[in-house]
Amino acid sequence: MANDKKYEVPEPDETIRTIIDRASQWTGWLENRMPGISPEYRKGLFLFALTEFGKECIEAQKRHTEDN
């Protein structure tokens, strides 16, 4: 029997949106310089960008918290 529970997915906050936007922009920029890139490779680049921009955001938040 299927699970009938419905889960609410919260809207991403501004930080998450910023990380996704930056990763998308970077991946698009790279695609323009590497025509013919495979979808699998593009997905990997996007995940890499999400990871890197996410780390950058976390570090910035830590510095901000330590300063205050």
Would residue 15 count as lying in a domain?
A: no
Would residue 67 count as lying in a domain?
A: yes
Would residue 41 count as lying in a domain?
A: yes
This prediction has a pTM of 0.64
d(CA 51, CA 67): 24
Find the domain containing 40 and state its range: 36-68
Query: Could you tell me the pLDDT band of residue 15, with boundaries at 50, 70 and 90?
Result: confident
Would residue 66 count as lying in a domain?
A: yes
CA-closest candidate to residue 14, choices 48, 49, 61, 47: 61
- Predicted confidence (pLDDT) per residue in 22-68, tens digit: 999 999 998 899 888 898 998 999 999 999 888 888 888 788 777 76
The per-residue pLDDT for 51 is 92
Would residue 46 count as lying in a domain?
A: yes
- Do residues 5 and 32 touch, judged by C-beta distance below 8 A? no
Tally of domains within the chain: 1
The per-residue pLDDT for 4 is 63
In the block, which residue shows the tokens 């930056």? 22
The per-residue pLDDT for 2 is 55
